A and B are shown apart, each in its own frame.
Chain A
């Protein structure tokens, strides 16, 4: 379990990036963190694996205050993938990059190799093991950074904008892998602007604005809150816009349509009767 208690943080002592964040993430949860650029999402997620330490307040990991834990100790439990893969990748081949973390965590040579192969295959990087990460495309480098953390399967996964640069197939692959890990008891926290990805994969959503949490609850509840839509700089999904436009003409269309399949059935209903 990760508990943030009234966490404050400022990078330069002038501008306060986090202004009293309190949040509890239970084991086995899937949680999305949304918010406008500059809301403090990345700063918060960096507190979860000890990269940043609170200037006020506490971060408690499995009952232990992280103030008294080393980064190495925390890293065994919490794996973080950065938004920009180039801040993370530094070795000459994809295989070395992924096996580096595994070896550091004490996996044997053959275990490391096996896990590396399995993770690369799951993320659609099967043929890339010997390639230099720097010859890969932006989307591919992002997946290598994800593989280097996902392969170690830490108890807590913290992912900063994991879907950037990913096409529809790759996004599905990633979602499937996260769902499998979650079934095995892993906790998954993502920071993302990708609202469709949130709706389809995360039951709980935390909305942030100006360094504070402004909403925390079920994803459908948080995303139907107008204040959240506005302060998190969210654009309403196309399906919501379609439903709104339909409702003007067909009053029978429900208030809370989010999924594509729901809209499809609604339209079949309308046209079936025509």
Chain B
């Protein structure tokens, strides 16, 4: 059974005049790292909300088809059912933090689901360790930097032991170094077996971690596959996807008759391929 299945799913927000998602059909399996990208307004955020039933149960509208997350239909089970399957992390961590300190923040979710106190304490300590939050233990969330807040928000999400982390542009308010820290944490969680669905425009930062890229445009999936294959397509430039700089150089060289052996995703990969081509 797939971890997430979109079965011909369409959705239109109340008051909107066009569909936000149009007949989406796909499955996402355990352990995958899926990057969702596409132009502004293409349906990426709606896709994330549909995974954990926020669409259509909190954000209402016209629905056709079904989404099954961990085998459960998101139209037929309560939103709370999905909180412990799909953990959502958003762009602005400030909007997500609800309590006054790190420990309470992490404990908040499991307390609400009635997890036993001993088990909660165990999870709090494990997550403080995993996300390197020891120094923040006594800090109020409003005294933390954006990157620190986002680490706490991720810890709070993981406290529910989700099977998939769904992150909607989790680094776009962060400075580059803090962004890198968050993305390293997410890549590490994926290596430990957690599935990741990440929405991002800046593929320079994430393409190297992804096992799969899904390209959306106007509510539809227009390409889905291996990052190198997808980013080598001209379709990316046509619809305005931020192709990594190294991949752009590869494409420009190709139009000038120079084809490197593989499609690079980072500057270092590009340099290696150039070196290989000269056998120096």
Residues of A whose CB lies within 8 Å of any CB of B are 35-38, 83-84, 124, 131-132, 135-140, 143, 161, 164-170, 193, 195-196, 232-235, 237-246, 249-250, 260, 263-264, 267-268, 270-271, 274
Contacts and interface: CB of A to CB of B under 8 A. Distances in A.
Contact of B175 (A36, A131, A270): A36
Contacts of A239: 245, 267
B158 to A, nearest CB: 22
B39 interface: yes
A138 B91 contact: yes
Given A246-B274, A270-B274, A234 B41 contact: no
Interface string B197-225: 00001001000000000000000000000
A260 B201 contact: no
B87 interface: no
Contacts of A268: 253, 256, 258
Interface string B260-280: 000000111011101101111
Contacts of A131: 16-17
Contacts of B71: none
A166 B241 CA distance: 10
B249 A170 contact: no
Nearest to B240: A169
A260 B175 contact: no
A233 B180 CA distance: 10
16 contacts: A35-B175, A37-B145, A135-B16, A138-B45, A139-B41, A167-B201, A169-B39, A169-B239, A169-B240, A235-B176, A240-B267, A249-B271, A267-B270, A270-B274, A271-B258, A274-B279
B40 A137 contact: yes
Interface stretch (B118-126, B131-139, B166-174): B166-174
Nearest to B146: A37
Interface in B126-150: 145-147
A270 to B, nearest CB: 6
A140 B41 contact: yes
B175 A274 contact: no
A143 B179 CA distance: 23
Nearest to B265: A238
Given A165-B169, A267-B274, 19 more contacts: A36-B145, A138-B91, A140-B40, A143-B40, A165-B40, A166-B40, A167-B201, A169-B239, A169-B240, A170-B39, A233-B176, A235-B179, A238-B266, A238-B267, A246-B275, A260-B248, A268-B256, A270-B278, A271-B274
B219 to A, nearest CB: 11
B263 to A, nearest CB: 14
Nearest to A259: B245
Contact of B249 (A124, A140, A195, A260): A260
Contacts of B178: 36-37, 233
Contacts of A170: 39-40, 240
B244 interface: yes
Residue of A135, A138, A234, A264 with highest tally of chain B CB at under 10 A = A138
B162 interface: no
Given A136-B41, A138-B45, A138-B169, A193 B91 contact: no
B38 A233 contact: no
Contacts of A35: 175
A131 B242 CA distance: 27
B280 A249 contact: yes
Residue of A161, A233, A249 with highest tally of chain B CB at under 10 A = A233
A37 B179 CA distance: 11
B114 interface: no
Interface string B35-59: 0001111001100000000000000
Interface string B13-37: 1011100000000000000000000
Contacts of B244: 238
Contacts of B275: 246, 249
B112 interface: no
Contact of A271 (B175, B270, B278): B278
A196 B244 CA distance: 12
Nearest to A263: B249
A104 to B, nearest CB: 27
Nearest to A140: B41
A238 B40 CA distance: 23
Nearest to B237: A168
A234 to B, nearest CB: 5
B177 A36 contact: yes
B246 interface: yes
Contacts of A143: 40
B191 interface: no
